[in-house]
Chain A
Amino acid sequence: MTTGAIVVAIISFVLGALLALMMIPILVWLERRGAGLVQDRLGPNRTNIFGFRLGGVVQSFADVVKLVLKEEYYPSHISKHRWLFMLVPSITFVAALLAFMVIPFADNVVIGGESLRIQPLPVDFGVLWFMAIGAIGVVGIMLGGWLSHNKYALMGSTRAGSMMIGYELPLGLAIVSFIITYNTIDFNAMVAWQSGTVLGFLPAWGILVQPLGAIILIVALFAETNRNPFSVSEGESEIVAGYMTEYTAMKFAIYFMGEYVAMNTASAVIITMVFGGYQLPWVGTVDLVTHFNAFALAIMAVLPIGILFFIRWMQKNNSLRPSVRSDGSREYEAKVFTYVLIAMTLIVEAILIYLILSPEAFLSRTIAVTLLQIAIFVFKLMLFNLFFILVRWTLPRFRYDQVQHLGWYYLLPLSLLNLFVTAIIVVGVG
């Protein structure tokens, strides 16, 4: 291994860990603020550090501090297997975290004739890894409910188990049909396949090539993350908090954070498999590198306009109504962030000008393209996380027998049909 390979491996691992872990407070905040805004409320926007409230993100960190400082409480009837009871939430958390680690954040970087993956775990069997590790998450839920010696918790875990039987088969079959279409089990090769076009003008994204398979995949992944409309294992109106009824303090927090990591992982898998991953539509990595100047100029033109709109939006919304007396802290925060954003824009513009004016700097152009792809990936990831959140505040919860009914009577036959049609077309065309 060369130095470049080691550096890329370390950077992509750190990037993966940051994307998975730092996304948790942001997603918790996004969920609460999003819920508020959907329901015409404001949501948490008060907590601040030296007047900087960042729209309320600080609240998530305050919550974590609260949960860490809380008393470690165990129900008295859990005496024998207390260590297992304590350990179980991390199964859910770690499973979701590991499944995220095979997602490519950008296309392979060629340094010194060596093709390096921008993937925390540089493996070429990502889909199999995701299917194997992703399904373990439900084991944590079932064990947790079982160990609690609580009727509600047991009901919650049996529901989770019964639901798992309902959605795992359609999920697996949908993924198999994608594997047949893309002819690979490597996430990065899947994304590379999606950089082309179908019918001459549409981007070859999975949702357009395999619409039925994509819908089944999305529905099944919603079920795997235990989120609405499939959050039957924690139906608070009938079984309190379901499997985590007896969990308090940090043990609860790990379950809670595991749910958000799982949601993040599901979003990443969905955009990698059916929404073109880190690619811009119609534009592959090679096009980005060869026509670098055109893209750099486009970014230089679009970025200031976008930042300008963002600054105006921030100054308008990070303030109280004119009729209200305020201490000016929100205006001060908006002012500081305006300067920071302008400075960052200027730095990005300067870097792009340097890259355009030095055509021999092939390596730095490759790095710039990689960074652009990472930015696109994060943007798509946030959009899909927002979709998850919006679905939660739109739909009511399924009954758990309805989930099984949906899985066995509709999704399974449909995914089988989709699989047969895909196989016939692939064999016929190939």
Chain B
Amino acid sequence: MSRKIKVVPRYGSNIKDKLYLPAIYQGMKVTFKHLMANVADSNAIETLEYPEEQPSDITQRYRGLHRLTHREDESIACVACFMCATACPARCIFIEAVEREDGRDEKMPKRFAIDTLECVFCGYCVEACPCDAIRMDTGIFSLIGSSREDFVLEKEQLLAHKGAFGEEKSCARK
């Protein structure tokens, strides 16, 4: 045990450290160098001038705004199984099911709404979905509205979102 003890030397006892001024000079040199370099060319600072400049580093794993996927014939892939609504820890998915008439499946959602003000963007709904019907691969990171109701995304809006990384159609429901 005693062999593992590392004795850290105590600094600050010699005259140079006690004077403070050499250390202050060193620190000022660093800050002044940064200041002058950035004053000379402020566009070289590695920062995003946000509204004009959009982030370019959004990856496939990024959980953006949700979207509902389509089948091959552009009909909705969702079968209204309520798995996502059950998995949702924020209870922000509201589904009303209705019988599907075109014979492709038994059920489809009449209403499928996500309250994005409640949503915590955990991605559990995507994990839970057996039909690959809901995804978060839109790459959309900002949503703007002027009232609370604007942030409740309905089925039509969710269907209109495009995937940002290909794979437009549902992989599980043809």
Task: Show the binding face of A for B, using Cβ within 8 Å.
Answer: 34, 37-42, 215, 313, 316-317, 319-321, 323-326, 390-391, 393-395
| Interfacial chain B residues near A390, Cβ < 8 Å | 28, 31-32, 35
A394 and B24 contacting across the interface, CB-CB below 8 Å:
yes
Asked if B52 lies at the interface with its beta carbon under 8 angstroms from chain A, I say: yes
A37 and B38 contacting across the interface, CB-CB below 8 Å:
yes
B46 and A319 contacting across the interface, CB-CB below 8 Å:
no
Task: Show the binding face of B for A, using Cβ within 8 Å.
Answer: 21, 24, 27-28, 30-32, 34-35, 38-43, 45-47, 49, 52-53
| Interfacial chain B residues near A393, Cβ < 8 Å | 31
A313 to B39, CA, bound (A): 9
A325 to B53, CA, bound (A): 8
| Interfacial chain B residues near A391, Cβ < 8 Å | 24, 28
A51 to chain B, nearest CB (A): 14
B34 and A39 contacting across the interface, CB-CB below 8 Å:
yes
A320 to B45, CA, bound (A): 11
B24 and A42 contacting across the interface, CB-CB below 8 Å:
no
Q: Select one of A37, A38, A320, A394 contacting B43, CB under 8 A.
A: A320
Asked, given contacts A41-B45, A394-B24, whether A320 binds B52 with beta carbons under 8 Å apart, the answer is yes
A320 and B53 contacting across the interface, CB-CB below 8 Å:
yes
A37 and B49 contacting across the interface, CB-CB below 8 Å:
no
Query: Can you show 24 pairs from A to B with CB atoms below 8 A apart?
Result: A37-B42, A38-B35, A40-B34, A40-B38, A40-B45, A42-B42, A215-B21, A313-B40, A316-B41, A316-B43, A317-B39, A317-B42, A319-B43, A320-B43, A320-B53, A321-B43, A321-B49, A321-B53, A323-B53, A324-B53, A326-B52, A394-B24, A394-B28, A394-B30
Closest residue on chain A to residue B27 by CB atoms: A394
Q: A34-B35, A40-B38, A390-B32 are in contact. List 17 more A-B contacts (CB 8 A).
A: A37-B34, A38-B31, A38-B34, A38-B38, A40-B34, A42-B42, A42-B45, A42-B49, A317-B39, A317-B43, A319-B43, A321-B43, A323-B53, A324-B49, A324-B52, A391-B24, A394-B28
Q: Select one of B21, B40, B47, B53 contacting A41, CB under 8 A.
A: B47
| Interfacial chain A residues near B49, Cβ < 8 Å | 42, 320-321, 324
- A38, A41, A323, A391, most chain B CB atoms within 10 A: A38
B41 to chain A, nearest CB (A): 7
B28 and A37 contacting across the interface, CB-CB below 8 Å:
no
| Interfacial chain A residues near B34, Cβ < 8 Å | 37-40
A39 to B31, CA, bound (A): 8
A157 to B14, CA, bound (A): 34
A320 to B34, CA, bound (A): 20
Q: Which 3 A-B pairs have the closest CB atoms?
A: A37-B38, A394-B27, A394-B31
Closest residue on chain A to residue B46 by CB atoms: A40
Closest residue on chain A to residue B29 by CB atoms: A394
A212 to B45, CA, bound (A): 39
A81 to chain B, nearest CB (A): 41
Closest residue on chain A to residue B23 by CB atoms: A395
- A40, A316, A390, most chain B CB atoms within 10 A: A40
| Interfacial chain A residues near B47, Cβ < 8 Å | 40-42
| Interfacial chain B residues near A321, Cβ < 8 Å | 43, 49, 53
A34 to B42, CA, bound (A): 12
B41 and A317 contacting across the interface, CB-CB below 8 Å:
yes
B32 to chain A, nearest CB (A): 6
A391 to B49, CA, bound (A): 28
A183 to B50, CA, bound (A): 59
A391 to B29, CA, bound (A): 11
| Interfacial chain B residues near A34, Cβ < 8 Å | 35
A37 to B47, CA, bound (A): 11
| Interfacial chain B residues near A313, Cβ < 8 Å | 40
A215 to B22, CA, bound (A): 13
| Interfacial chain B residues near A40, Cβ < 8 Å | 34, 38, 45-47
A355 to chain B, nearest CB (A): 34
A230 to B68, CA, bound (A): 58
B55 to chain A, nearest CB (A): 12
A42 to B44, CA, bound (A): 10
A395 and B24 contacting across the interface, CB-CB below 8 Å:
yes
A41 to B34, CA, bound (A): 10
A313 to B40, CA, bound (A): 7
A325 and B45 contacting across the interface, CB-CB below 8 Å:
no
| Interfacial chain A residues near B40, Cβ < 8 Å | 313
B24 to chain A, nearest CB (A): 7
A395 to B20, CA, bound (A): 11
A297 to B35, CA, bound (A): 33
B83 to chain A, nearest CB (A): 42
B91 to chain A, nearest CB (A): 36
B159 to chain A, nearest CB (A): 30
A38 to B34, CA, bound (A): 5
A289 to chain B, nearest CB (A): 36
| Interfacial chain A residues near B42, Cβ < 8 Å | 37, 42, 317
A254 to chain B, nearest CB (A): 29
| Interfacial chain A residues near B21, Cβ < 8 Å | 215
| Interfacial chain B residues near A325, Cβ < 8 Å | 52
| Interfacial chain B residues near A39, Cβ < 8 Å | 34
Closest residue on chain A to residue B25 by CB atoms: A394
Closest residue on chain A to residue B33 by CB atoms: A38
